[in-house]
Amino acid sequence: MEKEIYLAGGCFWGTEHFFKQIEGVTETEVGFANGHTENPTYKEVYTDQTGYAETVRIKYNPEVASLAFLLRMFFKAIDPTSLNKQGHDEGTRYRTGIYYTDEADLETINMVYAEEQQNYDQPLAVEKEPLQNFYSAEEYHQDYLDKNPTGYCHLPLELFKFAKQAKDKK
């Protein structure tokens, strides 16, 4: 049985590519989450007037990759104390967030969040909220780094290799 989680980790091109490397992730889709307009375009979201965060919908097989494992991997790919900024990308659309559709996931989310908070003196800037809405981004944004291997990415290439080799040690 597949599950899904929505993660905002700055620019969605790199975040999607990172999660696609992880064994147990069965599908990814980039889009916009938790804003206040209908059917936003990238151009509209880019203005930071719509309230949306660039987000990746991640479908996964929990028998292969648990939610806790995926969240720990997520924290390796972001600066969790940075508000509305990841790498050189700034704006509310680049905020970090964990958006869930299953209330039962909140216990795991809170556990991993608390573990991660112990590594920092300042509070984490990562949102933890139920998913309110999600709109798929335009087709040219889907699998962007597969289509444009030398395209812009705020994540270091070593991180993709790390993700490919990571295994959930349940």
List residues with catalytic annotation: 11
Instruction: Provide the domain limits for residue 109.
Output: 3-165
| Structural domain includes residue 51 | yes
Enumerate residues 6+ apart whose C-beta is below 8 A from 144.
13, 16, 17, 30, 151
The predicted model gives 57-61 an average pLDDT of 98
| Structural domain includes residue 155 | yes
The Cα 153–Cα 12 span in angstroms is: 9
| Structural domain includes residue 129 | yes
pLDDT for 169 equals: 84
Q: 15-57 pLDDT, tens per residue?
A: 999 999 999 999 999 999 999 999 999 999 999 999 999 999 9
Domain CATH code at residue 127: 3.30.1060.10
The Cα 13–Cα 55 span in angstroms is: 9
Q: 139-165 pLDDT, tens per residue?
A: 999 999 999 999 999 999 999 999 999
The Cα 60–Cα 165 span in angstroms is: 17
| Structural domain includes residue 93 | yes
3-state SS class at 86:
strand
| Structural domain includes residue 170 | no
pLDDT for 83 equals: 97
For the chain, how many structural domains are there in total? 1
3-state SS class at 120:
coil
The distance of Cα 87 from the centroid of its chain, to the nearest Å, equals 14
Q: If you search the block for the tokens 């270091």, which residue do you land on?
A: 156
* 55-64, 78-87, 146-155: least confident range: 146-155
The answer to whether residue 170 scores a pLDDT higher than 90 is no
Q: 108-124 pLDDT, tens per residue?
A: 999 999 999 999 999 99
